[in-house]
Structure 1
């Protein structure tokens, strides 16, 4: 069944990837109408999340953010499909990497954890490997359909980025550390961890939730550098990325310092243009089951 679904869907994805950009984004408008107006994909989740994150905003403004978000969501998914055909020159034009010297200076001395959130276009982050002087890795979530998983890995590895699951990433970081090998590990770090595995709960967009602190754990134990990747949407189909240092010496940071800095940077990004965050993600689903010791965390 998995193979049948892939065989039926893949030709459409191939065709979409080859559409000229004007038709491509016109098709995205059609997908938006279906996803938002007809299907109403995760509307309840999006509205709940927006009200939690922006309790003081009027309903009219939240509705405007919601509509813009769904348009952007459709663009983002299709832009991942478009990656199948994007040349190196075209992705450099549409995903402008700024202050690359910040990353290159650090990666010559230490392994780097490049953390980001589900904001703007995280799919094209893998193109940063075009500028990396050491080896580039990207952590991804495995897809249950093995054929689509294989396809997504192939698409995301277009620019020689090595794709790793979370478990593989930890093992690879440890191996590189022991062997003295350098590398840049890109990871999206704003997911909601499984509640029973959460070791740290704190405020994110005004609500106490469990947070992933795997990057911090590795950085503090192995003295790694951590940079925040801030991606902004310039206009439709065009993005810019900049590197913001969180620490160049993980072992010199206090407990939760790296995680807290990442969260504040992610929040700042969301407040600037909230329509470009992934609001369909159930990021705040554990908000009503905060352990007693984590209630009222310091800001």
Structure 2
């Protein structure tokens, strides 16, 4: 970790060439998940030619590597750096709730720089950010990621304990960060939606938390404006009181996320096996008809 900290004080122009090198290696030499990436982009944008799909893929590799460099650079950032590198265009829309003692759920996706909101929002808004977190198996990498993510005051909440931990501090004004576009495991509660031209499963945890706590829900629309420069716009997608049976949180979140991806497709995390199974395949597997 000392090495990462040392690197963070270097000027960005010293580190971004490593992202370029990593992108070249990943796409041309190592072919890191290349088939998954190309298939995901093709399925999401069936109207695009093979040439266009490959162009998006190459741009994705470059951006993917830049995000890792930016995580290192962020270690030494101050509040002023965040205001310059990832300003929030409309903080007042969220602060009007927080300042009146109302906690908020802030949903986002793996778009643009998906790590920086957890790093920067707490510093800029001066409220605690607690974010749902699923530990990875590689202990060394997990330790580094934990230190980077908590460096600026973020508090990770293990996903399996999320509901219990959130309820403990139910009335404490703070931000609950949820990246809601991971693939749910088979057999878990989920909602199926038409997303990017495909039948797609979404976790429903954010909706369950919203109904239980009666928190307002925002979507963080992260837009990349240049190398190491982003901006965040907060979109209110649901507020209490909620109906017992339905809030619409997941549908509205998915619609906002799709709009963000369509604006600049190469900014999405295409390397994940997001569409690993269909609803019919899950039902068949659970019924034993595989």
**What is the TM-score when the length of structure 1 is the normalising length?**
0.88
Post-superposition CA distance 1:5-28 (Å, at most 9, x none): xxxxx5664554343111211221
- Which secondary structure state, in structure 1, belongs to the residue aligned with residue 234 of structure 2? strand
Q: Is the 8 A contact 2:211 2:244 kept in 1?
A: yes
CA contact (8 A) 2:184 2:190 kept: no
The reply to whether residue 269 of structure 1 matches residue 269 of structure 2 is no
Which of the residues 152, 167, 170 maps onto 1:174? 167
| TM-score where L is the length of structure 2 | 0.90
Gap change, CA 1:274 and 1:285, over 3 Å in 2: same
Other structure's SS at 2:219 match = strand
Quick check: 2:214–2:241 contact (8 Å CA) kept in 1?
Answer: yes
Which of 117, 120, 141 lines up with 1:148 in the alignment? 141
- Tell me, yes or no, if structure 1 residue 28 matches structure 2 residue 19: yes
Structure 1: tracts of 5 or more residues without a match: 1-9, 293-299
Counterpart in 1 of 2:111? 119
Q: 1:253 to 1:57 in 2, by over 3 A?
A: farther
Q: 1:130 to 1:262 in 2, by over 3 A?
A: same
Question: Residue 246 of structure 1: which of 217, 225, 237 is its match?
Answer: 237
Q: Report the 3-state secondary structure (helix = DSSP H, G, I; strand = E; otherwise coil) of the residue aligned with 2:224.
A: strand
Identify which range, 142-151 or 240-249, moves more after superposition: 142-151
SS of the aligned residue for 1:155 comes to helix
Residue 283 of structure 1 corresponds to 274
- Partner of residue 128, structure 1: 121
Give aligned pairs, total: 281
How far off is 1:171 after superposition?
1.6
Aligned-residue CA RMSD (Å): 2.0
Structure 2, unpaired ranges of 5+: 285-290
Any idea what SS the aligned residue of 1:229 has? strand
Instruction: Name 1:137's counterpart in structure 2.
Output: 130
1:45 alignment partner in structure 2: 36
Q: Which range moved further: 253-262 or 157-166?
A: 253-262
Partner deviation per Cα, 1:222-254 (whole Å, 9 max, x = no partner): 211100000000011100001000012152486
Q: CA deviation at 1:290?
A: 5.5
